[in-house]
Amino acid sequence: MEILILVITALLIKNILLLQYLGNCPFLGVSKRMDTAVGMGLAVVFVMTLATAITWLVQKYALDPLGIGYLQTLAFILVIASLVQFVEMFLRKAMPALYQALGIFLPLITTNCAVFGVAVLAIRNEYNFVESVIFAIASSAGFALALVLMAGIRERLEAADVPAPLRGTAIGLITAGLMALAFLGFLGVDNSLKALTQS
């Protein structure tokens, strides 16, 4: 039950993209076409899950015992950057087909604040290892979901008659705002779920 709440919260109620303001640069950059959106979404699920698992271990078994928690930012970004490099090399050698599909998105992920943000959030929320991994999977799935939904809308927008100054990123942002508004509706689900378990 706890896990279910965790998943629904990370996936819908606190969607990292639309309600937690994380990962917006690739969101606007790659949501113009459906196929790139799907590719980016999958790449993020993959990297975010791995990154959160590794940074969690780094925090608990390296930073905490040494009492250098203040180096968290530095350590995490290095772990994520090298992880991305490593994944890229590994995929190119071992799974060329997957590399073809995801390869070009990987470098973009290093500066994707969603990956870094979720890794830090997992520590700040004091999740244990299993919870952290589930949190990362659900969060990244939420990211992919929002990205794909957005790409669907933006493909339609191509054909719409948008006022000239708003074309491009501006209308993309406004669309994202309306989607975020829709996702706010899931807040009610959260309250009733929690009330259900607490009583």
Q: In the complex, which residues of this chain contact another protein (CB under 8 A)?
A: 18-25, 28, 70-74, 76-78, 81, 110-113, 116-117, 120-121, 124, 126, 163-167, 169-174, 176-178, 180-181, 184, 191, 194-195, 198-199
Minimum distance from CB of 91 to another protein (Å)? 19
- Where residue 126 falls (left for φ over 0; alpha for ψ -120 to 50; beta otherwise) is left
Name the residue nearer to another protein (CB basis): 98 or 120: 120
Name the residue nearer to another protein (CB basis): 22 or 141: 22
Minimum distance from CB of 96 to another protein (Å)? 23
Name the residue nearer to another protein (CB basis): 71 or 89: 71
Minimum distance from CB of 156 to another protein (Å)? 17
Name the residue nearer to another protein (CB basis): 67 or 97: 67
Minimum distance from CB of 56 to another protein (Å)? 16
Minimum distance from CB of 95 to another protein (Å)? 24
Name the residue nearer to another protein (CB basis): 81 or 101: 81
